[in-house]
Structures are given as C-alpha cells and as structure tokens.
Amino acid sequence: MADTKFTPRVFSGIQPSGGLTLGNYLGAMKRFVDMQNAGGFETIYCMVDLHAITVWQNPNDLKKNTRELCAGFIAAGIDPEKSILFNQSQVPEHAQLGWLFNCVARMGWMGRMTQWKDKAGKNAENASLGLFAYPALMAADILVYHATHVPVGEDQKQHLELTRDIAAKFNHDFGVEFFPIAEPVIEGAATRVMSLKDGTKKMSKSDPAEASRINMTDDADAISKKIRKAKTDPDPLPDSLTELDTRPEARNLVNIYAALAEITPQAVLDQHQGALFGHFKMALSDLAVAKLAPISTEMARLMQDQAEIDRILGRGAERARALATPILAQAYDIVGMVRS
C-alpha cells in the first residue's frame, strides 16, 4: 500500500545511454503515458543523464541521446504541460540528496545489487564508484519529490526495494516520518522484454548485437526485418501460456504482441493458437510497425527543433526544482546542516 500521508506523485526516469528500445518503451515509457493520462497523480519524468555517465559516454553522443530521449517521451505521448519533463543534471538537488543517501546506504546493500554485479562483472576494481553508488542516487531521484509511485520494468525492482530501505533507515535514524515508502508499479505484459536473439536475456540499449533489439528510431523495414529474424522454435503457438514456460523466445514475442495490442498474453494465444512463427511474426511485424512508426516519425520531426527541446527541458527543470528545493532543505535541517 502506498503511503497515504503524501500527495500521490509519480516519478520515473530513463537513462540517455543510447537509443531508446522497445523494452524501454513497453516496460516504462508507455506506462508513464498511461499514468499521466489516468489522472490522480502528479507525474514527473526524467532523463537521468547523471546515471548514464556511471559508464563511459561520449559527450556529444550524450547530448544527442538526451535530446532524442526527450523527443521520444513527447512522441510517445508525454505532454510537457501535464507532466514535468526534464534532464536530471539541471536539477542539482538530485545529486545533493544523493550524497546524503550515500551516507545512509550501507556498502553491503550496494554490493548485493544484481545490476552492479552484472555491469561491473569480473572487472569490479575498474568500475566507476558512481556505478556502485547508482542506487543511492536513484533513491534520491525519487525521494527528492516525495514520490509515492514509481513505474519501472522488472529489472529495477531490486533498486526500488533499496529505495524503500534507504527511506526507512533515514526516517528511523533521525526519528522522523519524512520520506515516503514509495510503491513500485510493475504491471502489464511487458515488464521484461527479452532480447530478440536470446529469450533469457533482457533487451537492452547497450547490447552490442543490433539485431537483439528494436530501437524506437527504427523504420518500418528495420522493424519487420528484426522481427522476421528473431530467434524462435519450429513448434506452432499453443493454446495455453504454461506450454510457453520452456519456450522463452516464443513467450517473449507473445508478450510483445500483447503489450502492443493492449490485450493479455492469453488473448494473443486465443487469436493465434496453431499458427507457425512465420505467420505470427508477420502479424507481429504489422502491429509493431503500426504502433511504432508514428512515434519514430514524430521523434524525427521533433529532433529538427533542438532549441524547442532545450526550452522544454529547461522549463521542466524549473518546475522540478520548485518541488525539490524545499524537500532538500528540510532533509538538510533534519540531518543537522547549518544553513545561514
């Protein structure tokens, strides 16, 4: 249950660490749009550029990717008047609260994060300190707005549990009920979109294999080709989901279809049971092109007016700071910082 003492407020972010994928769109962005349009929440969405630099980013690419991500948010349906839309580094309160949380979170907690283990791998000695501390900054992103709900994909569940632990420890250590215990919102058929080449691996922007993902900037030809070449198996689609438990690639395509069509995975099987993958992939490709091509066309149009994108990000940052500044000031007071 969400903390009812706090105004219902949604926060979520996406890293501008490369082109936006279908995984980011279905697992996160499409659901950001739904929450914006559902009403009942203030919605705050962020391009988390400070997170992106926890691994090396070429500075020019980072700028381009941040603007492209902003265009992606708007093309997907985020209205910068209804939602607050900005890039993280323009709101320094995130990093400031992040430092307080670096002093609340324990080394042991961070060391147990799966994403840290996956991304640092065997080369942890050489990974940046920022990559290790990333979840404390993510907690600050959320809590600097007293956000109560955080829509994310399945892979972020552990980081959200850590956010809750940080809020609870801060509240306990200082004897306050200052930070909400934010609720993860992990819903729908596509909470974990898998690689098109390996149904056991998450679809990811940074996967070196281009054919493993659909990018939101892909044109109709590229989308169809990638779906046609996606790994599958020779069996037809069954009539029940349990029969897909041992067929991860097939299950992934069914989930993608369901999320794009806004129906359940079982309804996809009801419509397509008995179909061979050659046939099902054609239907999926038509659906994906119909849903994604208008977004990529709109992104390309928005990218032609960089000044307008920068204006939207600047205005979003002003609105975000108006919420974050008093919350950070109160957190500093609680911790015992003298402010003259």
Respond yes or no: is residue 64 known to be catalytic. Answer: no
Amino acid of residue 12: S
When asked if residue 65 is in the footprint of ligand AQP (CB under 6 A), the reply is no
- Catalytic: which of 119, 157, 169, 201? 119
The pair of structure tokens assigned to 327 is 């919350």
- CA distances to 151, 158, 252 from 196, in Å: 24, 24, 8
Q: Which residue number has the CB closest to ligand AQP?
A: 27
Q: Which stretch binds ligand AQP (CB under 6 A): 15-23, 176-184, 261-269, 331-339?
A: 15-23
When asked if residue 21 is in the footprint of ligand AQP (CB under 6 A), the reply is yes
Amino acid of residue 290: A
When asked if residue 193 is in the footprint of ligand AQP (CB under 6 A), the reply is yes
- Catalytic: which of 30, 197, 205, 281? 205
How many Cβ atoms from other residues are within 10 Å of residue 117's Cβ?
12
Respond yes or no: is residue 119 known to be catalytic. Answer: yes
Sequence-ordered list of residues with C-beta below 8 angstroms from that of 137, at least 6 positions apart, any chain: 50, 51, 94, 95, 98, 101, 130
SS (H, E, C) 147-182: CCEEECCHHHHHHHHHHHHHHHHHHHHHCCCCCCCC
Least distance (Å) between residue 25 CB and ligand AQP: 8
- CA distances to 77, 135, 239, 259 from 233, in Å: 35, 38, 16, 21
Least distance (Å) between residue 269 CB and ligand AQP: 21
Least distance (Å) between residue 307 CB and ligand AQP: 25
CA–CA dist 246, 96 (Å, integer): 46
The pair of structure tokens assigned to 231 is 């790994």
CA–CA dist 173, 250 (Å, integer): 48
Residue identified by tokens 């961070």 is: 110
| Residue 150, helix vs strand vs coil | strand
Q: Which stretch binds ligand AQP (CB under 6 A): 23-31, 89-97, 104-112, 288-296?
A: 23-31
When asked if residue 24 is in the footprint of ligand AQP (CB under 6 A), the reply is yes
When asked if residue 63 is in the footprint of ligand AQP (CB under 6 A), the reply is no
Q: Would you say 206 or 330 has its CB closer to ligand AQP?
A: 206
Q: Would you say 63 or 169 has its CB closer to ligand AQP?
A: 63
Q: For the window 121-160, what string marks contact with ligand AQP as x by the rule CB under 6 A?
A: -------------------------------xx-xx----
Least distance (Å) between residue 11 CB and ligand AQP: 11
Q: Which stretch binds ligand AQP (CB under 6 A): 169-177, 196-204, 222-230, 324-332?
A: 196-204
Least distance (Å) between residue 196 CB and ligand AQP: 11
- Asked if 320 contacts 91 with a C-beta cutoff of 8 angstroms, the reply is yes
For 124, phi then psi, to 5°, come to -60, -35
| Residue 272, helix vs strand vs coil | helix
Active site residues: 119, 202, 205
Residues in touch with ligand AQP (CB under 6 A): 14-15, 17-18, 21, 23-24, 27-28, 152-153, 155-156, 190-193, 202-206
